[in-house]
Amino acid sequence: VIFDSSQEASIIVAQEIAGLIKEKQSLNTPCILGLATGSSPIKVYEELVRMHKEEGLSFANVITFNLDEYYPMDKDNIQSYFYFMHEHLFNHVDILPENINIPSGTISNEELYQYCIDYETKIKSLGGLDFQLLGIGRTGHIGFNEPGSHFNSGTRSITLDHITRVDAAPAFLGIDNVPRKAITMGVGTVRSAKRIVLLGWGISKANVLKKTIEGDITPQVPATYLQEHNNTTFVLDKGASSEL
């Protein structure tokens, strides 16, 4: 779906998420949301915060799982995804702290493998993700599933691509400060969501979105795996769709 502006598109996406939260509330069941970081979802979170403040949208029944986190990374580091999520959403709504799940950037190397298995198990034990919000990286990554990621991969540690680190460099004040690794939900984890919405804004994403939407399914562009998902929508603005 192509919108004139990312602002307009973000409001529609936020409305869908709010509708799902309310539907689950009426059924008295938790709403399991997979959430993303980066600049793409910021306006969606802004709109959800507005709906909480002005329209009384409650997050009391919401359980969230974030896609990824740099590794290693302290929670209070302003470049952490933990910090990002609190700054843009969690600090401003009534979500219960115990319902927030973000991969830990401080888990020890020895515990990392089991930690990733447990993250995956927790999602499954809650019945899976009802909704997964995604951005896309220039490498075609979703979460931090870089080129080469298996379509069935689960939560795991991953080595970041050079392009991903170059793109993150300004936020870290230089590429040397960008972590080389991250923990990410897998492509399989993402694909198991009942509904997926991928956001793409601006001309810098046009090329990778052309490959993702019109190209062959390939591990070299992990987002192409979404072509096989039966309930995915790519929500784009004019710039991002300019090569389609």
SS3 80: coil
Which runs of E-coded beta strand occur in the chain?
A: 2-3, 31-35, 62-66, 68-71, 100-101, 131-134, 156-159, 181-184, 196-200, 232-237
b/e 93-103 (16+ beta carbons within 10 angstroms → b): bebeeebbbbb
Part in contact with ligand GLP (CB under 6 A); list of ranges 2-10, 36-44, 124-132, 151-159: 36-44
* Closer residue to ligand GLP in complex, CB, 49/67: 67
State yes or no: is 111 an active-site residue.
no
Order of strands across the sheet that contains 31-35: 2-3, 232-237, 196-200, 131-134, 31-35, 62-66, 100-101
CB of 38 to ligand GLP, least distance (A): 3
CB of 164 to ligand GLP, least distance (A): 6
**CA–CA distances in Å: residue 213 to residues 135, 209, 222:** 14, 6, 11
Question: How many other C-beta atoms can be found within 10 angstroms of the C-beta atom of residue 151?
Answer: 15
Task: Tell me which of 6, 10, 37, 149 binds ligand GLP, using CB under 6 A.
Answer: 37
Q: Which of 80, 73, 195, 211 is nearest to 136 (CA)?
A: 211
- Cα–Cα distance measured from residue 210 to residue 55, given in angstroms and rounded to the nearest whole number: 38
Part in contact with ligand GLP (CB under 6 A); list of ranges 20-28, 38-46, 95-103, 225-233: 38-46
Task: Tell me which of 68, 130, 161, 237 binds ligand GLP, using CB under 6 A.
Answer: 68
Q: Are 6 and 102 in contact (CB under 8 A)?
A: no
Contact status: 66 vs ligand GLP (CB under 6 A): no
Chain CA centroid to CA 53, Å = 23
From residue 124 to residue 163, the character string flagging contacts with ligand GLP as x (rule: CB under 6 A) and all else as - is -----------xxx-----xx-------------------
Of the candidates 120, 146, 228, 243, the residue annotated as catalytic is: 146
Order of strands across the sheet that contains 156-159: 68-71, 181-184, 156-159
CB of 60 to ligand GLP, least distance (A): 26
* Closer residue to ligand GLP in complex, CB, 31/136: 136
CB of 116 to ligand GLP, least distance (A): 16
Task: Tell me which of 57, 67, 178, 193 binds ligand GLP, using CB under 6 A.
Answer: 67
CB of 80 to ligand GLP, least distance (A): 12
Catalytic residues: 146
Contact set with ligand GLP (CB under 6 A): 36-40, 67-68, 135-137, 143-144, 164
